[in-house]
């Protein structure tokens, strides 16, 4: 069995922890493990192979966090779950059973989970499309529901209002729609072709013309991905097919779709505050406190959510954290980079951290891994100064290539073609000072790139 892990989504409901280039599935929230890592660890006990469908920008985050050898399919833009699953299934033997899982769900009862997967695998081998229904323990309005009659699915329900959700709980044959599935790869494609032929045809064309980057990595071009209609697996196939079965399961599951949900899953002190070495509490109770660097002190407060990151602070009442998406919408209207990236950014060659940023200058700390190099590039709106702190940098500026050692520096004029490379055995650490009328991350013209980025 192959586990298809879907890594799409930007996780805006957990902003400012989660950003477009560091979504919630890659944030290490649980004993220095991310939800993505926990998903991979959980499913390698059940599956022989991992097949990861990822946004192009998130590929390097996934590789850094994986211990297992995996196959990747990279999407330049998201088109929802039906195309993502279809493209993966086209790369898998038709008779192979696949377990499709999101990368950002928390499952704490692994024994029950393993049994549910084995039951689903049995149904999948009998040519069924199997979905997993989570036994609800309260009337949640943020999830879709599955109406079941034993293992048979009677209907899929949209997210209900509170009164309808209460009715579902009372009836007892309604389950939360988990977004997890199990079926033969070929059967899913057969049903997709039958019920959503336009998605199937566009996916087939995209897959047949994919860019093979390496033996374990394929990439769909932006043009072909753009031509694929966007739709969920539920709308495209599951709600139309007569081959659908459901496995009801009670696996202590959470999609961590809000800070209120996160609060429930984190360890707490005797006053109900989430445990944090940087938090001093004076007569404060039942608060979610997330901070890494700053000391946070609270006095006489209750039922608050306080999320501190180096460049953004969120304070909310518990019970209101679903409104975070409204904050994200307002930031996007302002074209703020705060929705896109943290001050510490992970790139395929290493990391950079913004130490200081003003209208016409920016200071960064850049770390380049051994054997890696940045793209050959130029900028139209800024000059750059590089000062090496440790390691030895190989620097290309125009036609000149030179070595820059600790406490040495170089200068790159606006418009000049340049590259930074680490040919050594230890990381290169340098300070970059940008000066110019615009210092945004989109002022990069890549002339040549080892990682095939645009």
Q: Are 440 and 412 contacting, i.e. CB atoms less than 8 angstroms apart?
A: no
CB of 99 closer than 8 Å to CB of 218:
no
Token pair for 251? 């696996």
pLDDT tier for residue 260 given thresholds of 50, 70 and 90: very high
H helix runs in 66-137, sequence order: 81-89, 110-125
Average pLDDT over residues 331-349: 87
Q: Would you give the distance in Å from CA 178 to the centre of its chain?
A: 17
Task: Tell me the per-residue pLDDT of 68-92, one tens digit each, with 9 for 90 and over.
Answer: 789 999 999 889 999 999 999 999 9
Q: Which CATH architecture has domain 2-254?
A: Alpha-Beta Complex (3.90)
The sheet with strand 288-290 has its strands ordered as 288-290, 304-309, 312-317
Is 410 within 8 Å of 404 (Cβ atoms)?
A: yes
Domain-wise residue ranges, the chain: 2-254, 259-323, 343-448
Give the whole-number percent of the chain exceeding pLDDT 70: 99
Residue 452 has pLDDT above 80, yes or no: no
Q: Where are the beta strands (DSSP E) in 369-427?
A: 376-378, 382-390, 393-397, 400-404, 409-412, 418-421
Q: How far apart are CA 321 and CA 307, in angstroms?
A: 11
Assign 454 a pLDDT band (cuts: 50, 70, 90): low
pLDDT band at 188 (very low <50, low <70, confident <90, very high): very high
pLDDT at residue number 312: 93
- Judged against a pLDDT cut of 90, whether residue 107 lies above it is answered with yes
Question: Which tens digit of pLDDT belongs to each residue from 144-170?
Answer: 999 999 899 999 999 999 999 999 999
* Distance, CA of 145 to CA of 164 (rounded, Å): 11
Interatomic CA distance for residues 453 and 219, integer angstroms: 11
C-alpha to C-alpha distances, 137 to 96, 251, 267, nearest whole angstrom? 34, 11, 20
pLDDT tier, 278 (very low <50, low <70, confident <90, very high otherwise): very high
Residue 214: CB partners within 8 Å, gap ≥ 6?
none
Outline where 132-239 has alpha helix (H): 162-171, 185-195, 197-208, 222-226, 233
pLDDT band at residue 61 using 50, 70 and 90 as cut-offs:
confident
Residue 196 has pLDDT above 70, yes or no: yes
Classify the C-alpha dihedral 19-38-265-135 as positive or negative.
Answer: positive
Tracing tokens 């007892």 back to the chain, one arrives at 172
pLDDT digits (tens, 9 = 90+) for 203-216: 999 999 988 776 78
CATH for 343-448 is: 2.60.120.10
Looking at residue 406, its pLDDT comes to 96
DSSP 249-287: E---EE---SHHHHHHHS-B-TTSPBP-TTEEEES-BS-
- pLDDT per residue over 428-446, tens digit each? 999 999 999 998 888 899 9
Q: What percent of the chain has pLDDT over 90?
A: 78
Interatomic CA distance for residues 153 and 239, integer angstroms: 9
| Confidence bin at 8 (pLDDT 50/70/90) | confident
Query: What's the average model confidence in pLDDT over 193-201?
Result: 97
Report the chain's mean pLDDT, rounded to a whole number. 92
Mean of pLDDT values over 120-145: 93
For the chain, the straight-line distance linking the first and the last C-alpha, in angstroms and rounded, comes to 35
Label the pairing between strands 152-157 and 145-149: antiparallel
CA 390 from centroid of its chain's CA atoms: 32
Token digits for 263? Answer: 């609060």
């Amino acid at each position: 069995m192959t586990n298809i892990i879907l890594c799409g989504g930007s996780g805006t409901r957990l902003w400012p922890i989660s950003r477009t280039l560091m979504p919630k599935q890659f944030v290490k929230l649980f004993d220095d493990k991310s939800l993505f890592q926990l998903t991979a660890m959980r499913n390698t006990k059940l599956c022989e192979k991992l097949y990861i469908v990822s946004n192009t920008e998130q590929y390097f985050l996934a590789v850094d966090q994986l211990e297992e050898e995996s196959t990747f399919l990279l999407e330049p833009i998201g088109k929802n779950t039906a195309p993502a699953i279809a493209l993966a299934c086209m790369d898998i033997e038709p008779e192979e059973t696949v377990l499709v899982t999101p990368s950002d769900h928390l499952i704490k009862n692994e024994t029950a989970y393993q049994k549910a997967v084995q039951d689903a695998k049995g149904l999948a081998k009998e040519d069924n499309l199997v979905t997993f229904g989570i036994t609800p323990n309260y009337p949640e309005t943020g999830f879709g529901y599955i109406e079941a009659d034993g293992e048979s699915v009677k209907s899929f329900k949209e997210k209900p209002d509170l009164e309808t959700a209460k009715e579902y709980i009372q009836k007892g044959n309604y389950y939360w729609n988990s977004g997890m599935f199990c079926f033969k790869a070929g059967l899913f494609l057969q049903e997709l072709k039958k019920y959503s032929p336009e998605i199937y045809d566009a996916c087939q064309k995209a897959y047949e013309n994919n860019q093979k980057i390496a033996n374990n990595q394929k990439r769909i071009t932006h043009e072909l991905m753009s031509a694929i209609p966007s739709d969920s697996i539920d709308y495209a196939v599951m709600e139309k097919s007569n081959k659908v079965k459901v496995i009801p399961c009670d696996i202590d599951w959470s999609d961590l779709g809000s800070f209120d949900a996160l609060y429930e899953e984190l360890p707490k002190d005797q006053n109900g505050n989430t445990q944090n070495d940087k938090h001093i509490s004076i007569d404060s109770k039942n608060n979610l406190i997330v901070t890494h660097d700053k000391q946070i002190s609270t006095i006489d407060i209750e039922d608050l959510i306080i999320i501190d990151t180096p460049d953004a602070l969120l304070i909310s009442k518990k019970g209101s954290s679903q409104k975070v998406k409204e904050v994200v919408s307002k930031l996007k209207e302002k074209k703020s980079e705060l929705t896109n990236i943290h001050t510490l950014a992970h790139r395929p060659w290493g990391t950079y951290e913004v130490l200081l940023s003003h209208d016409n200058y920016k200071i960064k700390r850049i770390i380049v891994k051994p054997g890696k190099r940045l793209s050959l590039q130029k900028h139209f709106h800024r000059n750059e100064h590089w000062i090496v702190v440790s390691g030895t940098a190989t620097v290309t500026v125009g036609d000149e290539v030179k070595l820059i050692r600790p406490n040495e520096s170089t200068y790159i004029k606006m418009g000049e073609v340049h590259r930074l490379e680490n040919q050594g055995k230890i990381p290169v650490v340098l300070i970059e000072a940008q000066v110019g009328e615009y210092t945004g991350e989109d002022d990069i013209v890549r002339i040549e790139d080892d990682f095939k980025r645009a």
